[in-house]
Amino acid sequence: MKYHVFYRLQTEIPEVFTVPHQAFFSLPSKEGYSPVVAADRRGRFVFGGCSAGLDDPQPVGGLYVAELDGSVTELDRGIYQSNSHCFTPDGRTLYAADSFVTSIFAYDYDVDTGRIANKRLFANTADLGGCPDGSAVDADGMV
């Protein structure tokens, strides 16, 4: 059986967090998955799906959370390339980009449940001549 493996290193003893390969490919996005992962304050991993078809990209990707028990829940859908996942210092806002549409979105994030609400456009980088990739938030909350 194939597994996607995440390493949780911010504990006294590093843990290996595995999610069955089939869990990813039973989700609506069957094209590909972003290597960008953000950990929330409870240890869940937020990751995204993306369109693998560069010739004809489609909004088949999504935004997902891998729970501590290994289950995976879809948070959002209709994304071309989910990227740049990061949290504010208090963990209550999740930023996630769709690189194909050159936009970073902000979501209200419920730290207790790992669910999102209130999706809104945070920034569009089209006029800057690039796409969002590899975002981070500093201690002051600046992206």
Give catalytic residues, as residue numbers: 133
**What is the gyration radius of the CA atoms in the chain, in angstroms?**
15
Cβ atoms of 38 and 86 within 8 Å: the answer is yes
Using alpha carbons, list the distances in angstroms from residue 20 to 27, 28, 69, 85: 12, 16, 11, 22
Give the DSSP H/E element, type plus range, for residue 24: helix 21-25
Look up residue 31 and give its two tokens: 């094209």
CA dist 115 and 67 (Å) reads 11
